[in-house]
Structure 1
Amino acid sequence: MNRKTLALSAVAGLLTPALAGCGGADTGSKGGAIVIATTDQFTATKDAPAPLDPAYTYDTSAWNLLRPTVQTLMIQPKGDGDPVPEAAQSCSFTDKGSERYVCKLRGGLRFADGDAITAADVKSSIERSLRINADTGVSALLNTIDTIETQGDREIVFHLKSADATFPYKLTTPVAGIVNPKNYAGDKLRDGFDVDGSGPYTFKAVVRDNTIASVTYTRNPQYRGSLDVNNDKVVIRVFADADSMAAAIEKGDVDVMARTISPDQIAKLDAGTDKHVELLELSGLEIRYLAFNTKAATVESKAVRQAMAQVIDRAALVAKVYNTQAKPLYSLVPASLTGHINSFFNKYGDPSTAKAKALLTQAGITAPVKLTLHYTTDHYGSATKQEFETLRKQLNDSGLFDVTIQGHPWATFRPAEQKGAYDVWGMGWFPDFPDADNFVAPFLDKHNFLGSPYSNTRIQNKLIPESRREADRLNASKPLDEIQDTVAEDIPVLPLWQGKEYIAARDDITGVAYAINSSSVLQVWELGRGVSDG
């Protein structure tokens, strides 16, 4: 077994200067379907009956199911770098103030069923997401749009409410995906697991008990876009747990193992002797954090939240649960992104029970503070339970807290936290795009995706818009610094750690280095089948 470690910048350095060509060309592997294993669960429930509608879903794992089929105007490149045109032939700001953005569609674009795609379809798709305004908060990604106009069949003009240098990135996300109005009603969500679009693949799900068992992607002969497609068929199989997923790749029943490989399995693969399986490690932008219902009686006082920040030992948590596969995080913005500062460490320093006790005493709060920490049992991997057991022990050992923990399946956990059912809960964040804005606005802007009651008008009305005016992201540091320092003071969320990306593949699979990009996007079109070393 070989292990490769790639920094994102190193991957980007391997890229060709441009993504060119027509993805409909016959360039794919002629071998069998490439089978990808995942433990991500996709369930339709009464509270979330449309888990794969682009206007609804705001979750990396579901987005990864959508991206091969739902085409977007722009797309993120293989590694690092600015977005490049996908369904669009070209896109650019046409003013100095980053408030007018114009895209011209490629010629000959069609949905998989053969229907021609026009600028009006793009306009209606994006306006649909804004009109539905789903309670997941995903439409907030498009909230700088004022109006959309079309000029002929191929040109779309976006007029923005305010400058937004990150807008090209937002057009890479599925909420801005192009959907056929005959399949997606303009004023309501599409329930179930049907997905249609104009991307490089068609989509077909096998569903059991309202849960996806597998998805088959078959190359779409109608596809016209920037992607080179290196296979004819991909199957994503959903496994109940990481152990059964690992057993499948060892037997050769699957070709690629993606989310979520457990820490123990990563260590085993790293030290193993199976020469036919390769583990790839990339520096990642995944973060984990605790979120707070700041109106709940137990944590309404920021002194309680500050005391938790003062007690929790991130380094010990990471060492016990994740070893070298993660590192402590002291801001919402990951350490590897432009704009990051260690606001939490600057304010709280090393863990201290004495300082935490003083915070509670000054606020007139009697210890121990009784809390329940909620977490999801089946969305972020099997180590999540151990992580919350460790957090419970750290907080309770201080004598300042009386903490219990409670796990829930994602299908009930996510709707419950959005409705304010939990006072404190654990979440992960995989970026929509690799910019500090995407680690700030989704948590703190109006209609944030957590449904958090925390609202800071200075952040919303001044600092976020000010940071978006800067096309050179280095120049956005002043408002971003203030936002991060404010979060460390008020603690609507408490960052815990930043993770790495891992993917494992059998040695006859090519393109694995490009299969996950800097925003945790699973790029199935990059995978091909070669020759085994064995």
Structure 2
Amino acid sequence: MKAKAAMALLVVFLVAFSVVASGCIGGGKGETTTIPQSPTTTSSAGGQTTTSPAGTGTSTTQSPAPPELKPGIAEMDNVYVIVTDKSVVIVGPKGASPTVNIPSGKKVIRVEYEVDTANTPDVKTLMEQGQGFGAIDPAFFRDEHVDALIIAARRQTDPTIRTELFKAVYILGNKLVPEVILGQNRQLRVYWNWVKGRYYHPTLAERYDLLSEDQNAPSVKIGIKDYKNDPETYTIATFGWPESFDPAMTYETFGWEIWHEIGDTLVTYWKENTEQVSPDLAVAWAHNKDGTEWYFLIRGGVKAYDPWDDKTYPIDATDVAFTFLRVERLGHSVSWMVDAFMDVNHSSALTEEEFDQYLKEHPLIAEFNGKSTTVKSLDELKQFFGYSGDTAGVFKLVLPAPYAPVLGILADPFLSVVPMEYLLGDKYQEALQASDNGHDPSAWWNYLSEGKSDPTHQLMHNKPVGTGPFYVADYQKDAYIVLEYNPHYWNATANPGHRRVIYIINSDAMARINIFKTGTADVVAIPPEKMDTVKGLELNGFKSIVQTDILQPILTFLVFNTQREPFNDPLVREALAYAVPYDQISKIVYQGLLERNYGPIPKPWPGYTEEGITQYKYNLAKAQQLLQQAGVDPSKYKIELIYNEGNSAREKIMTLLQNVWSQLGFQVTVNSYNWPTYLDKTEHGEYDVYVVGWVPDYLDSDNWVGPFLYGATEFKSLEVTVS
């Protein structure tokens, strides 16, 4: 395409936003193009401000030259212009149109939006509801431009455009700093080599019935009742406590690990596979052409086991529909994934006959094992997946918009299917009838309530019931949890790798290490600085393993409360990002197991970039300069740094920061809280600064930028144009 023609096309597309183009690069080799500016607007970049007279691409007086764009961000006229290595991303309200020079060879992606003010929740209300790291990011940070880019990326189906949008969000997250990324974690695993078959998955814990032990492994009394750590028992010495035994009310790794052992989701990942999901409670699935309706054929013969009353409950498609709606109804922070990507009120449970009849008139697309086909009957779908067993109905899942990673969300343990009959008790038949046997799940809102007061939550929180390979047999809060092999598990075997799992809870790292040294535990959670104490151990001819070779897609970071002074000022946040001793934290606290990262996407996921960002380094002089620029007197502010008790690495981080930030003049204290209290405080915005790690919910870059930066802005309209 010739340069002149390209320039004309660019102007047309960037004025007429409702037109969407793709694959057209504006500007010929060595030339630039200009986006016309709105009347009497102001442009600023690099601290310089220039004003252009009214006009629509031409003017009657001489205008200053538009700013040259370099990798990074320019903010002008309430518009962000973000330059990546391959594109220029422009985001702003409907009608805004700054004048900028577009570097040649760059794709131009423009996101134009109109905020739905009436339906955008108040940030303070989200705090009161405890929606931090849920409906809104953990910093309670809101920037409409950032939110528009995140929503644009979610709706985009072209992976190359999604990647450029993710880069733009990464660059903005790096500059606006609602969270300071301390680094990306390497995994530290400590275990005895009598454990066999260990594997790693980025989002799911290992299934302990799939691991085994050498039969010559020692048998050691645990000191809890009559329990022993023997070759059939997998014993874990760890710290903390699950947020809840209710999958709909837990949003942290411990709770999800428990539910991966005691529950089943519609689909799952088989061991280390990250490329595609495998059948679990769904034996086959298909979707419509635009990806807004998904149909899951439910496995027959599955039972949920209630060990508290020694009863079982058959599972079918109505239980699935109930599970999904219940997650949204209870409204815990984890429910954001259901609320954002699924329409559970219009989803439903179908019979096989209803589904088969639907397929005759509405063929669906089935994809599995790298193959795709169109299915016109239930038998064709079953044959495509190679399934010939019993079934228990079909769950129809409706999405408000197509979302590429949806199957990854369905593999998350918080969507483990729970038995509706167990949870509703005497109201079960009434609720089933009210919903027309699951055809109208919205009827169940009347049988559930929001929050921890919901009776079904109280029941599941204290007496969890699931369908997985294990069940919770015994526990004492903050002391131990015992899982036993489930005799009613649909895929039970005569010789599972383990018949029992025991978590020994101890907040003291050295106490856990001593438990490990005696063989009382097979694996142990330890802080990195204690690695040398467990290297080279021997017991009964076995050796300890200390594994550090896996770079995980896990980020460790500080979270500012952007609704409190002085953290509501991005200059202050940037200043404090320069007042972090990153090298000390990596080398001393994490023994080199923390690699630098500068924004909310891990290496090497789409959107990670090192162009156009600030590579923050420890620089107190720079921090003081930025605080002066912000007009902030540090001596007037008290800062409480908090961490979860028992996590010595985070304690050391906060102690280091206390020392450094005190040098800046702030009054700094450090406090710790037990894990459930810590989560409650941070979810409700009752903090100044806290430290945490993020293990992805599902394997897509949106699952970092969304949780880290999305401020819960709703939009009346949002258009993306590409040229």
Which TM-score applies when normalising by structure 1?
Answer: 0.71
**In structure 2, C-alpha distance between the alignment counterparts of 1:427 and 1:59, rounded to whole Å:** 11
2:563 alignment partner in structure 1: 295
CA distance in 1, matches of 2:717, 2:632: 33
Find the partner of 1:87 among 281, 306, 320: 281
Q: Which residue identity lines up with residue 214 of structure 1 in the other structure?
A: Y
Shift of the 36–270 alpha-carbon distance from structure 1 to 2, 3 Å rule, reads same
Describe the shift of the 1:287–1:348 C-alpha distance in structure 2 as closer, same or farther (beyond 3 A). Answer: closer
Letter in 2 for 1:265: K
Contact 2:313 2:422 in 1 (8 A): no
1:241 correspondence with 2:508 = yes
Is 2:208 aligned against 1:40? no
Structure 2 counterpart of 1:139: 335
Within the candidate set 195, 213, 224, 2:490 is matched to: 224
**Structure 1 residue identity aligned to 2:317:** A
In the alignment, what sits opposite 2:481?
Answer: 215
Aligned to 2:469: 200
- The alpha-carbon distance between structure 1 residues 371 and 63, as it changes in their structure 2 partners (threshold 3 A), is same
Partner residue, 1:118: 316
Task: Name the residue aligned to 1:422.
Answer: 687
Distance, in Å, in 1 between the alignment partners of 2:479 and 2:623 is 47
Equivalent residue runs for 1:85-484 within 5 Å = 85-92=279-286, 94-112=287-305, 113-134=311-332, 137-143=333-339, 144-146=341-343, 147-152=346-351, 153-185=392-424, 187=448, 188=454, 189-191=456-458, 192-207=461-476, 211-225=477-491, 229-257=496-524, 260-270=525-535, 272=537, 275-281=542-548, 282-342=550-610, 346-368=613-635, 370-378=637-645, 381-397=647-663, 399=664, 401-445=666-710, 454=711
**Following TM superposition, by how much is the alpha carbon of 1:80 offset from its aligned partner in structure 2, in angstroms?**
3.9
1:71 paired with 2:270, answer: no
Q: Distance in 1 between matches of 2:653 and 2:563?
A: 25
Distance 1:461 1:444 in 2: 20
The one-letter amino acid of 1:333's match is: I
Contact 1:36/1:236, CA 8 A, preserved across alignment:
yes
CA distance in 2, matches of 1:117, 1:455: 35
Alignment of 1:483-502 (within 5 A): none
Q: Which moved more, 1:279-288 or 1:363-372?
A: 363-372
Deviates more, 1:246-255 or 1:405-414: 405-414
- Other structure's SS at 1:155 match: strand
Report the 3-state secondary structure (helix = DSSP H, G, I; strand = E; otherwise coil) of the residue aligned with 2:290: coil
Q: Does the CA contact (< 8 Å) of 1:74 and 1:84 recur in 2?
A: yes
| Kept after mapping to 2: 8 A contact 1:331/1:342 | no
Q: Which amino acid aligns with 1:215?
A: I
Tell me the residue number matched to 1:522.
Answer: none
Q: Which runs of 5+ in 2 are unaligned?
A: 1-189, 194-198, 202-206, 216-229, 306-310, 352-391, 425-446, 449-453
Given that residues 310 and 348 in structure 1 are in contact (C-alpha distance below 8 angstroms), is that contact kept between their aligned partners in structure 2?
A: no
Tell me the alpha carbon deviations over residues 379-420 of structure 1, each in whole angstroms, 9 at most, x when there is no partner. 6x22211111112223334x3544332222223222122222
The count of residues paired between Structure 1 and Structure 2 equals 424
Cα distance, 1:232 vs structure 2: 2.1
Residue aligning to 1:515? none
1:251-305 Cα distance to aligned partner (Å, 9 max, x none): 1112222xx3111332333355664322233332332211122111231212111
Give the conservation status (yes or no) of the 8 Å contact 2:209–2:498: no
Identity rate of aligned residues, in percent?
Answer: 21
SS at match of 1:190: helix
Deviation of 1:330 after TM superposition, in Å, equals: 1.0
Q: What per-residue deviation string (whole Å, max 9, x for no partner) do you get for residues 106-136 of structure 1? A: 22222124322110111011111111112xx
Between the aligned partners of 2:480 and 2:506, the Cα distance in structure 1 is 9
Distance 2:563 2:213 in 1: 54
Structure 1: which 5+ residue stretches go unaligned?
5-9, 13-18, 446-453, 467-477, 479-534
Structure 2 length as normaliser, TM-score?
0.54
SS at match of 1:38: strand
- 1:151-196 Cα deviation digits (max 9, x unpaired): 2142111110112111111111122111112332451242243211
The amino acid of 1:179's aligned partner reads: V
- Where 1:65 maps in the other structure, the secondary structure is helix
* Cα distance in 2 for residues equivalent to 1:348 and 1:382: 27
Counterpart residue type for residue 115 of structure 1: Y
